[in-house]
């Protein structure tokens, strides 16, 4: 392939690893990157589902927070007041 540089072949190799479903850690090791950050900065846009996974985690966290029962704070204040011997729990 005339005009193809060694650096171009590195990118093709990394892109093929990602397309074949290899992990970012494996790609990092194969490319000799100093950290996973270098791998994601260079090839992060090629990892499939990255945005969807983050979106799904956020949606689940919001759903869990919404469904979590909230304590009745007024009852908690009244109980604290009784334990302290206060007749008025509002301070």
Share of the chain above pLDDT 70, in %: 71
For the entire predicted model, the pTM comes to 0.52
- Which residues does 47 contact at the CB level (< 8 Å), separation at least 6? 18, 24, 40
Which residue has better confidence, 16 or 50?
16
Report whether pLDDT(87) > 80.
no
User: Hey, how many other C-beta atoms are within 10 angstroms of the C-beta on 14?
Assistant: 20
Backbone φ and ψ for 63, nearest 5 degrees, come out as -65, -45
pLDDT band at 71 (very low <50, low <70, confident <90, very high): low
């Amino acid at each position: 392939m005339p005009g193809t540089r060694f650096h171009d072949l590195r990118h093709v190799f990394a892109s093929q690893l990602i397309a074949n479903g290899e992990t970012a850690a494996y790609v990092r090791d194969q490319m000799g990157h100093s950290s996973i950050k270098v791998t994601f900065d260079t090839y992060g846009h090629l990892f499939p589902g990255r945005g969807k996974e983050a979106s799904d985690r956020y949606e689940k966290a919001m759903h869990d927070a919404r469904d979590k029962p909230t304590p009745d704070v007024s009852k908690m204040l009244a109980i604290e007041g009784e334990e302290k011997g206060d007749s008025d729990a509002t301070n």
